[in-house]
Chain A
Amino acid sequence: MMKTLLSICVALLLPLQAVAADAYVPKVYGKKGYVWDEMTPERVEVLRLGGDPVKGKEAFRGCRGCHKADAAGVREGVYPRLSGQHTSVLIKQITEIRAGIRLNPKMLPFVEDPAIALEEIGDIAVYLNQVESLRENGKGPEDMSAKGKKLYFANKCDTCHGKNGEGDAAKAFPVLAAQHYGYLMREMKLIETGARGNSHPEMVKAIAKFGQSDREAVADYLSRLPDYRTLAAKPAAK
């Protein structure tokens, strides 16, 4: 019964998938059979629906208990800063957590259906992309940004995550600038061990080369970068 239903759903979604796939880079095979950026039917549908930031603000209410009203998360980095993250990244992560591809048992009850409806995912993602955090993010215990910057460019992290840590919306590569130091440290560990579940295979390879002190330096550097949106908004010099 479930199988039949599933195949009907897949059949219905196939034309949509073909359309959405045009915008995406070729698939790469990662750890444990995860196919980087492979579209789940839900993600196809969320991308098709688009989002409304006004509705998203209200739907985000159910997330505020952890990520806070300004989406700043918490300084210690237990909960990440979400403000300014690319809509495409947020949709990828939310749908992959719901699908069990990215493993996040703490968050799951608050983001799975029916806590968040499929129609609300795009709304929340668009809202978060625009919202401004009022509080400062958590930095490393000491300023290691000079060393971190060197490592970041020497290892070509900027190829995917950008010269200002701004990521790449079209490829669903996340913004890292102004993220909490603690969160960056934790996720690097989860990417290395595969526990995150949905990492880019190149990212898994890249992180393996980084020792503890290198990670601390890069995480500190990224945490001290300004919100990339403030760079774009700077008025041209007279």
Chain B
Amino acid sequence: MKHNYKRIAGCLSLCGALAGLLLLPAMARAEAVPLEERLQLCAGCHNPDGNSIIPENPKLAGLDAKYLARQLKDFKSGDRTNEIMATIIPMVDESEFKALAQYFSEQKRSDGVTEKPDLAAQGKQIFDEGIIGSAVPACSGCHNEDGSGTNKYPRLNGQNPVYVKNQLMNFKNGIRTNDAKSVMRAVAKRMNDAEIEAVAEYIVTLKEAQ
């Protein structure tokens, strides 16, 4: 517990500093603004085209609009938690979610590269076939072989590996709980850290099939 408090305190001070930097001109109160203006706020972390180059931050480009809108709603309600988003989301009005989600869903997802091809090869095995011994289903079953996803299962191809790894760890440890059908928690709990890392390294190499 002690350790946790320390971590939380550390995160909070980091957030405070970041928030201070980012939000100097803005009031921490939701007020709807035009899409173009709002996008400037998102672009700082997610890039103007939604293809974030910061490893910890997800690429939003090409994600399903309904999925994106739901994530925004969940950040707002606290059903999904993230230290940085927690400082940003209070400024965005709920009426803006739909247009924001639509904008990012229409952007083209950029390709990614792995710096660990050997690990990615191990990840491919898990992504395509699952892990039979520990009853981990193949990721491709729901997210498609090319990671393109559907309106129910989010797009994965080219996603930043640090972000994917963090999300899987969060599902595994019960920190992220907004998977509508609690299926991702069930899957991630059956994976060890090395398997999670390998899958994340493979996902970044995926390119949408033409």
Does B154 sit within 8 A of A, measured CB to CB? no
Complex alpha-carbon distance, A109 and B153, angstroms: 17
> Out of A66, A78, A109, A114, which one reaches B141, CB within 8 Å?
A66
Complex alpha-carbon distance, A62 and B138, angstroms: 10
Interface size bucket, B side?
A: 10 to 19
Instruction: Say yes or no: A69 contacts B141, CB within 8 Å.
Output: yes
Instruction: Say yes or no: A66 contacts B180, CB within 8 Å.
Output: no
Q: How many A-B residue pairs have CB under 8 A?
A: 47
Per the 8 Å Cβ criterion, residues 145-192 of B in contact with A are 150, 152-153, 180-183, 186-187
A190 to chain B, nearest CB (A): 16
For B181, list chain A residues within 8 Å (CB). 62, 114-115
Does B71 sit within 8 A of A, measured CB to CB? no
Asked if A63 meets B141 with Cβ closer than 8 Å, knowing A78-B132, A114-B180, the reply is yes
For A150, list chain B residues within 8 Å (CB). none
From A113, which residue of chain B is reached at the shortest CB distance?
Answer: B181
State the interface size on chain A (CB cutoff 8 A).
16
Instruction: Say yes or no: A66 contacts B138, CB within 8 Å.
Output: yes
For B112, list chain A residues within 8 Å (CB). none
Asked if A109 meets B130 with Cβ closer than 8 Å, knowing A61-B142, A69-B141, the reply is no
Does A64 sit within 8 A of B, measured CB to CB? yes
Complex alpha-carbon distance, A76 and B130, angstroms: 14
For A62, list chain B residues within 8 Å (CB). 141-142, 181, 183
Chain B residues close to A by CB (< 8 Å) = 130, 132, 135, 137-142, 150, 152-153, 180-183, 186-187
